[in-house]
Every structure is written in C-alpha cells, then in structure tokens.
Amino acid sequence: MLQSDYMKLDNIVQCTDHMCPVRVHWHVKNNYRDQWRVKLTVSNYNYGINYSNWNVMVQHPGFSQAATTYSFNSTMLPTFGPTDGVALFWGIIYYNDHLLQANEKQLGSVTTEILLSKDSDSFTLRNGWPFPRRVNFNGENCGMPLPDDFPMLPNGSSRKLLGHHLFFLFLAPYLTSKMLVWY
C-alpha cells in the first residue's frame, strides 16, 4: 500500500481517546417518579465520510415499556423470550437524516431525547441498568463495557464505608494528641 493511499481523507479520524469514527453516547438526564429521560447522541469523528440514512439499534431493558422519542424516527423491534427490549432509531428526512463529517472546528452529530416509562418491578439505577446492553450503528456492533465497568452512582455506595471513614476521622486526632503528649 502506498502512503498516499493510506492518507486519503476518508481514512482520517479526529484524535480522541477511543479512536473510533463514530461514537454513540447515552446520557441519563432525569430520573422522574414514573419515567426517566435519556439523551442519545451520535457523533461522527471521521473527516471524510458523511453517513446518510444512518440507523442506531439499542438493546435496553427500558424498551420493554413505552418510550417516546423526540428528534429521531424510532420503532420497537420484536424480541423473543425474556430479553431486553430493542429499539431502532434513524434520522428524520430533511432534518437530521445525514450525519455530517467532522472538521477542525466541530464534529458532525445528531441528538435526541427519549422518555422511558419505569417498570417498578425491574427498574433500578444500580449495576449499570440505565445503560444499553448492546448498540449497533449502521448494522455494526459498537463496543460496550461490561455492566460491572459502568460508573456507579454515589447513592449506591455502602453506609458501612462511611462508618469506617468516620472511625478513622475520629481516630486520627486521638492518635495525634497521644503522640504530642508522648514527646
């Protein structure tokens, strides 16, 4: 392969920590009593490729309940057995059906908000539940971390840890005072 072939514009990706040409970002925005709001953003880091008629498929437990999407077209796909719901998203014609290429000043991106209904029997914000199980962009699987690798919420921490921290917080001044008396 010639170096000029390798350096074609359609092979150049904006330098990021993940070095992927496309990133699908799922952000839990609000946790309401009966629903929760998610922001889904698809960003194009590729300097040479526009994606027209793109689609994103997301597998998530929340899609087994009713969902409302605001800025993308969407449909729920049929699933068999006790599996998570699957939703397919794509752009609205003449609005966001083209995921534009990145340039030096900004990336190409499209975004929507999704309102998901809560199932009180299965809903939790613990152990990665709010995040998708599987994401595909234009039919290609996107790499996802394991649920154990997802960030944990501060309110998910154990109260026992707080007790240990308080113990050491009170122990430190006591030991300091004993050491000052000893000298």
Domain locations in the chain as residue ranges: 3-149
Query: In sequence order, what are the beta bridge partners of 134?
Result: 59
pLDDT digits (tens, 9 = 90+) for 51-87: 888 999 999 888 888 889 999 999 999 888 767 889 9
Torsion angle (degrees, nearest 10) of CA 145, 147, 153, 159: -130
pLDDT for 130: 76
Q: What is the pTM of this model?
A: 0.69
Instruction: State whether CATH 2.60.40.290 applies to domain 3-149.
Output: yes
pLDDT digits (tens, 9 = 90+) for 149-166: 655 655 544 444 455 555
pLDDT for 181: 54
